Amino acid sequence: MSSPLKSLLRAAAPLPGETGRFAMGLSGFILLLAVLPILSMIVMSFSGASNLDFPPASYSLQWYKAAWNTFVSPDASDVLSLGQALTTSLLVATLSMLFATLVAVPAAYALVRCEFRGKAVALQLMSLPLVFPMVVLGLALLLIFDNLPFQLSTSRLVIAHVILALPFVVKNCTAAMLSIGNEVEEAAQMLGASPLRAIVDVVVPLMRSGILAGMLLAFIISFNEFTVTYFLYNIDVMTVPIWMYSRTVSSLDPTVFSFAVLIVLIDFALIWALEKLVGDGGVSF
């Protein structure tokens, strides 16, 4: 995540000649494309008009006020308040983060340290959710959960999000694990630590940055997830993206833009924390 920022800074020191100018122009254009939707959304959230014309005819804070009102005194027409959706989102994101990390740390250790049959297959399977169409995955999970003899509500969202976040968390933990030599672990054993104690005392602390990066990524992925969640939510358990979507399907309500700005701010804060915690080059998406 730090790389676009970094490359921007680096581009500020001009490259010589035509190539430099071309490279700068191109990266500027691509960056603009990347932030344009977010920028237009932020602009729209300050619209003073009651329609969706872009750019807005006037500017005001009316949609923020409306959003605040929805938040403090939910409309009776709303099936579910934003407060409840936000609580669900945070709960699901936190649980997904914890479970994904609990699975990913031992998995990363095994993938780096151990040689076993089917290691290549395990690695492939691990990244399957990355290439699998989300819609198919959502449908598949829905089929499975509906055929279970018992009902799951929040936990089925957690399970789905863990599956989605796992490749990223494992990737970050594996990268951290790769930089840890065998010798520190053996040194701990020679000093009297059992193999498990050596992992807890030495390997895990040294993996810290990778684990933290993975945890935050898992949180962000779960917090933003829409497609798979759309198949699995029900009327009582809804995450923020689903709640926002449900408000826009019938009639596009500009308050959604103010909520979106709020979510973007949360994401930015998390990514900023991620970079602070991990430093440069530590995170791989």
Partner 1 sequence: MSGLVLENVEKHYGSACAVTDVNLHLPEGKLVCFLGPSGCGKTTLLRMIAGLETLSAGEIRLDGQDIGHTPAHQRNFGMVFQSLALFPHMTVGENIAYPLKLRGVNKADQQARVSELLQLIQLQEMLDRPVAKLSGGQRQRVAIARAIAARPKLLLLDEPLSALDAKLRESMQVEIRQLQQRLNITTILVTHDQREAMTMADIVVVLGEHRVQQVGTPIEIYRNPANAFVADFIGSGNIFPAIALGHGRVGLPGGAALQVPICESIHAGTSIKMLVRPEDLQLSLPQATAGNRLQGTVTFVRDSGATIETTIACSGVSLTALSTPCQGIGLGIGSPVSVTIPAEACRVLTA
Residues binding partner 1 (CB under 8 A) = 181, 183-184, 186-195, 197-198, 201-202, 205-206, 208
Q: What pairs with residue 47 in β-bridges?
A: 59
What are the two backbone dihedrals, phi and then psi, of residue 80, each rounded to the nearest 5 degrees?
-150, 140
Q: Which two tokens stand for residue 121?
A: 């297959």
Tell me the closest approach of the beta carbon of residue 194 to partner 1, in angstroms. Answer: 5
Q: Which two tokens stand for residue 234?
A: 């029900």
- Whichever of 14 and 205 has its CB closer to partner 1, that residue is 205
- Whichever of 82 and 188 has its CB closer to partner 1, that residue is 188
- b/e per residue 82-91 (b: at least 16 CB within 10 A): bebbbebbbe
- Whichever of 98 and 184 has its CB closer to partner 1, that residue is 184
- Whichever of 52 and 178 has its CB closer to partner 1, that residue is 178
- Whichever of 137 and 202 has its CB closer to partner 1, that residue is 202
Tell me the closest approach of the beta carbon of residue 202 to partner 1, in angstroms. Answer: 6
Angle at 232 between CA 229 and CA 233, to 5 degrees: 80
Tell me the closest approach of the beta carbon of residue 108 to partner 1, in angstroms. Answer: 18
Q: Is 73 left (phi over 0), alpha (psi -120 to 50) or beta?
A: beta
8-state DSSP, 203? I
Tell me the closest approach of the beta carbon of residue 209 to partner 1, in angstroms. Answer: 11
Tell me the closest approach of the beta carbon of residue 197 to partner 1, in angstroms. Answer: 7
Q: What pairs with residue 59 in β-bridges?
A: 47
